[in-house]
Structure 1
């Protein structure tokens, strides 16, 4: 993955997917900055990141936090990040060099050539009429060449692929068969995409991963994921997908929610068909069939890799052929199951499966595999075996070899007849081996390390030793040489012919590669829709109504994750409407405009006690909007969702020990990002903004922050905010009106209850109006804070309610302290009035002084003040 950021914050990105052999370019993101880079890292999850030497310092610092560390000192050993970070010369990120590199990529559907970078002698791509120029013009149909930063990143990726290909050892066997070829070039654009920042993805628990518990797995260079999804939207839905293709497609749909209403409604229709009662058994059978599928891209990579001619062995595992055979059979069954679905004819995905999946083609693929590979014998022998009848020439060689094997006992008898009588007992047997041919085995003499007899005094001369194994030495005599010349190296010829047969089979399968990959993509999409349907059925989700009107109308909405963790969940409604603007591009394109003035507010401020469910409510609204844009059903009784272009949050503050920014500074950066990028179709979640500083400054910032969005008028976004700054409302800084509404979470109070936990009961029900108190002290008491602290807090709150000065109140003495002070003053006065005699050293003088001191200290005060 290559990333480049200019001084104005414009972000360019390109990355290579080895499994798909695809180069992907991201459209340049204006003023994206570090936030955009963070989101791209979450989406792509790269194993290697390259940046130019001229990269900004904040980008380098940000990327180094999660990068591999290769320091030599012992303290850093074992600190492995998510990716390897490398710096390249800035010239490799040049825009013109990137176009030249793209123009030289061979995207032919035949066997692809390695990526070649344009040399100085080649004709530049800018030359009008050149082959490179025509190729670049064709490429411009699928990618936006005006995204200069991303094009430069693509050039850097292609140069790096060329370096990797040149450094690859051709004799090495890589398990995944990665050859660093580019077979396709794609571009991801922000058009028709609901943008969700990296902070929002994590704050809303759309993504929530944890590192693998095994450090060796985390630090390995394998392609296996080093993290797994915990309780999150992605983890929840991916667990319901049946195949690798489905999980991958589902992740793509979740990380790139769309604003294309036609696509969203198409997915909703697909889910509706799968949820029909009459289709229940068919959908269940489809899931069972999809579980049998392996990743076809990996299988085809193994097939394309072919066989190892150097070692003369079949490198395609029999399991891969079995998986391809299963894919062919399952494809035919899935096509038939799709035909059986009621009401599927009007849905695009099902129509494509019925039309594009050619049952005869896939049955033919399965037939040629079945007629070539002997799966039972392969299982017993541990390597790929070819069935009789797959090749007449191979069958002839095998028959000839079988005849030779039958002759081996006779060959031994012939050799025995030719050797002296005393050497007969040392002739063990005759055999034939690949590359070595016919051999005679003789017992080894331990004293000499050679065969006891190896042709001594034989008319034909001594035998030639080839090798020895344990207590047996293998020799060639004249008879063995004659047999070699007559029959040749039969085992090697058989192995070579087996390789030819497997290569022919691989070529026959690869003729249908495009159809197999296309079917795999269709099944991945089908699997993802089945996962959506299963989640909708399992968790009681309903189909939302999508509209171009800029509103959110949710009835009985629920949090899709929180409701799984509690015995019962209280649903709540939400009605909001953003600014009407001057007519958005989306509405103009669809031919609809919302001219009707709506009374629904654009901003809803939540107050109420701690732990009452304000944050959960805000998150559930955002997640319902988000799920609706993925094409999935939503956790609500009914929902009407307007097209939303961004979901921005100021909720959770992500802090790490390597981040030198304070929590308040991080909050301010998130707030600034939302103000710079929010549009009237955006949804903003603001939870307790300003809590990281003093109450006066925090409340002032909070009021000014919300006022900024209210003052946008027709361009104001939809805002959900939660706060405990009640002084904002008491001082009239924010007044309810047609654009601003207050709400609070309901609680039941019982001040007479003895148990603090019973004094407040959270009802988790949203009510209109502002809550009067946050009940922080009651929450503290219910959570085990000592009673002394609680009583002191109550006293301070009472003083504040009476507008009394805390300084004066804290300087006042208690009644007990006043009594002790008065007693101490009385003792001091007595002591000062005491007459001490001038001759205090005489006989009995010390006793007199003690008596005087006892008189100063009244008897009732001795125990309290001491002596």
Structure 2
């Protein structure tokens, strides 16, 4: 007999007693009960100790887990191999999210290993490999830097099976490997064995006709294989002069192979990558982690639950601008924020795209693209599961949605109204063959029965009419219920008196066909039915199961129908998977291009939401901003006051004046020194300039009416001091480290932001360090970076320590002073505090030329609730110090002093009186002493007088 559709079901023989595990009458009473169970692992539920409801719940959890994995906000999970020798650094890192390998050519580093720190901070690795033979100073610097890095969220770790070794970690792991693992020859050999699965875009589409499809497919395979070989060979040749980088590649690939083997992957020695690329430092802006956190580009917040170690993005630039829809779009957005572009062409391409998406006549296109982007899942993870033979509906549905979304987005982008070519859209359209995608999408829809698959716990289901043999199996399976009822009836009629009054015939996948009777009939004696040729199988709570001759015949002629149907469906799924595998490279390429479009749409949405404008980019070292705003502060303030900025090295450039009264003395300069009252907005102004420069380089619009931004290779900051017990440094030492790093690495194309450098130590030393910093930057001349500095050391300008005629711009933040002792009101630049009085300020937050002579610290203290008696005493002490009237600080009555204080005061008074009474003689006496040739005696005599003066016991 041909096999029939399989199920685990029980057929009644006509007895009034209920039969288990699952009878036809039970199914009739419960229409929601499962009628079909596909897959070899689905055996009768009652005998496995769990119910259909438990099985459905497990399947639901599996589907939800898969959905979470596909839709997770995947961050780049990087495994970094890095080493150093004789002052040079080489590194190689694996981005698991994109399954790509990146290299950095051997680079000469500074004595403080600044380049190493920048590499680690920009990659934010989760696992680091290094050589035990590396320079000792390098290893110490690497350990110190890794100790300060945040660990990527655990959600990203769960997205890739190969990252199980890195889960549940509180900090970045570092592993020291023997020097032999970092040999360049071993690295070159390991790279030569890598299989690159990502096909070249130029070969992605085929114009072949159907008649020549097979021949063209073979030619395509040969061309693709040869292209990959040539590309890998070219890469290995370019790395010949980079032994450190080659060694790092070998160590990383060896580690990856070992990790996969430990995870049970028998093919772990075969490394498949989507791409291998060289990373050029001259193509990205270098910005360290201190700057990223100080400028609030990233801001991690702890989870609301005290038991959770997870973090989320707080109020940050990435939080308000990185609103991508797809998982890989969010990962690419984070890459753009960590590594801003430094290529003018790339930046302008992004600005063109954002400008195009902001056009009103393109709004319907943007809405269509956003809607379809929601269907794009984590394609690399999805394809990895599919290639491993997954029959889960979530994976197949995700691939179909990707194909559908790709076609819809392509058609929508073709209707864009544009002023400039949108490179991202053109690259996306060229990344795949639309006809091939449509055919594959139709094939998936024609083969997979989506509705039935949802009913069958999300398993792969094939539509009727796809395969005749499978349809025949299902048709005969549909008659299995009545057939087994007849078999049960035949067995019942053959029984003699005294034997079971009722029985059922059931089918279990992998166990076959069995006769089932109740336990009461069984009576605990398996041998009771041996005379009938029945062989006892097993006993459940309600049923005893036997196998007789008829059941053996059914096993022989009908067989295990469940396995037959499952095997046929797996065969169809594998055939379908071959078509998916043929387009795997294009699917990955398309997803990457969609991620870029997703980021650009996010920038456009943020620009529309926050009224950001397009900046003008130039190669010149210039920074001109008109009505600039802080992108985060303006969200927290009801009214935000914009300000202008002009940092220009070339005097011939057009001038953009600072907001405020016209001042003919205002001149163009690459340095602005900002003073003003506390709480007047100096730090916000410094940060907004840095953020506007940063935003323009990632391709985003900026919060300003207009901006002309020169390419900036590095943004250096000394803004905030992030103290940590793990750093082993004081707050002032951290400030010095930040300034030292900035001065060592700044270039004429850099931007330097310094906020109150020198405040962490004694006032005179801090002022001296600040003056030294200013003079050092000015002496650099044309090599100096564009600099913005805020300080409260106004006295260095008032006392002439730093001349106001030096080539920098002095500016201040305006405040309105309500002086109780004056008739009118004056600005902070001309007001002075009087003894015992505290001025009331109105902060205007406007940038104006000139120097502020007071920080108005007492007024700021009064705003934040310092008690009036403290403020009054502080004002009096300030007045005494500023007018050199220290005697006023002495108590009026000496009895108010303690005994030791009175004694010290009396001794000081006696010394002073004796000094005033001392007759040193006139100039004539001194000349006579020198004429007599006795200078030594004179010095000795002076020493004796001073000793006697200080010796009160001889008085």
- TM-score, with normalisation over the residues of structure 2? 0.73
Question: Which position in structure 1 is the counterpart of 2:155?
Answer: none
Structure 1 residue 534, shift from structure 2 partner: 1.0
Question: Which position in structure 1 is the counterpart of 2:132?
Answer: 53
SS at structure 2 position matched to 1:659? coil
Question: Which position in structure 2 is the counterpart of 1:773?
Answer: 854
Q: From 621, 624, 635, give the equivalent of 2:703.
A: 635
Superimposed CA distance per residue, residues 768-816 of structure 1 (whole angstroms, 9 cap, x where no aligned partner) = 0111100111111221112222122112211122124x4x554x22259
Cα distance in 1 for partners of 2:837, 2:305 equals 43
Question: Which position in structure 2 is the counterpart of 1:656?
Answer: 724
Question: Which position in structure 1 is the counterpart of 2:97?
Answer: 19
Is 1:251 the counterpart of 2:330? The answer is: no
Is 1:695 the counterpart of 2:726? The answer is: no
Check the 8 A contact 1:3/1:11 in 2, yes or no: no
Cα distance in 1 for partners of 2:514, 2:719 equals 79
Cα distance in 2 for partners of 1:43, 1:525 equals 19
Cα distance in 2 for partners of 1:253, 1:31 equals 24
SS at structure 1 position matched to 2:82? strand
Is 1:233 the counterpart of 2:322? The answer is: no
Which structure 1 segments of 5+ residues have no match? Answer: 69-77, 111-131, 219-225, 307-314, 582-597, 825-867
Per mean C-alpha deviation after superposition, the further-off stretch among 340-349 and 760-769 is 340-349
Structure 1 residue 618, shift from structure 2 partner: 0.7
SS at structure 2 position matched to 1:670? helix
Structure 1 residue 424, shift from structure 2 partner: 3.5
Structure 1 residue 229, shift from structure 2 partner: 1.5
Check the 8 A contact 2:342/2:713 in 1, yes or no: yes
Question: Which position in structure 2 is the counterpart of 1:463?
Answer: 534
Question: Which position in structure 2 is the counterpart of 1:128?
Answer: none
Q: From 341, 360, 374, give the equivalent of 2:435.
A: 360
SS at structure 2 position matched to 1:262? helix
Check the 8 A contact 2:83/2:248 in 1, yes or no: no
Question: Which position in structure 1 is the counterpart of 2:187?
Answer: 98
Cα distance in 2 for partners of 1:623, 1:67 equals 22
Check the 8 A contact 2:648/2:669 in 1, yes or no: yes
Superimposed CA distance per residue, residues 97-143 of structure 1 (whole angstroms, 9 cap, x where no aligned partner) = 32232222232559xxxxxxxxxxxxxxxxxxxxx9988632247x6
Quickly say closer, same or farther: Cα 1:197–1:47, change in 2 above 3 A. Answer: closer
Question: Which position in structure 2 is the counterpart of 1:842?
Answer: none
SS at structure 1 position matched to 2:283? coil
Check the 8 A contact 2:127/2:174 in 1, yes or no: yes
Alignment of 1:148-187 (within 5 A): 148-169=243-264, 181-187=272-278
Quickly say closer, same or farther: Cα 1:557–1:99, change in 2 above 3 A. Answer: same
SS at structure 2 position matched to 1:570? coil
Alignment of 1:54-453 (within 5 A): 54=133, 56-64=139-147, 80-107=169-196, 137-140=233-236, 144-169=239-264, 181-214=272-305, 218=309, 226-238=310-322, 240-306=323-389, 315-343=390-418, 346-384=421-459, 385-427=461-503, 429-444=504-519, 449-451=524-526, 453=528
Check the 8 A contact 1:344/1:351 in 2, yes or no: no
Structure 1 residue 24, shift from structure 2 partner: 2.3
Superimposed CA distance per residue, residues 654-684 of structure 1 (whole angstroms, 9 cap, x where no aligned partner) = 2112221111111111111111111111110
Per mean C-alpha deviation after superposition, the further-off stretch among 161-170 and 600-609 is 161-170
Structure 1 residue 243, shift from structure 2 partner: 1.7
Cα distance in 2 for partners of 1:777, 1:42 equals 40
Quickly say closer, same or farther: Cα 1:199–1:4, change in 2 above 3 A. Answer: same
Quickly say closer, same or farther: Cα 1:684–1:144, change in 2 above 3 A. Answer: farther
Is 1:481 the counterpart of 2:552? The answer is: yes
Quickly say closer, same or farther: Cα 1:787–1:723, change in 2 above 3 A. Answer: same
SS at structure 2 position matched to 1:371? helix
Structure 1 residue 189, shift from structure 2 partner: 1.8
Cα distance in 2 for partners of 1:748, 1:296 equals 58
Alpha-carbon RMSD across the aligned residues, in angstroms, is 3.2
SS at structure 1 position matched to 2:845? strand
Alignment of 1:772-851 (within 5 A): 772-804=853-885, 806=886, 808-810=887-889, 812-814=890-892
Greater RCO (Cα-Cα under 8 Å, separation 6 or more): 2
Check the 8 A contact 2:326/2:373 in 1, yes or no: yes
Cα distance in 2 for partners of 1:378, 1:344 equals 47
Q: Count matched residues.
A: 748
- TM-score, with normalisation over the residues of structure 1? 0.80
Structure 1 residue 42, shift from structure 2 partner: 4.4
Quickly say closer, same or farther: Cα 1:758–1:67, change in 2 above 3 A. Answer: closer
Superimposed CA distance per residue, residues 229-248 of structure 1 (whole angstroms, 9 cap, x where no aligned partner) = 2111111112x222223212
Question: Which position in structure 1 is the counterpart of 2:832?
Answer: none
Quickly say closer, same or farther: Cα 1:553–1:133, change in 2 above 3 A. Answer: closer
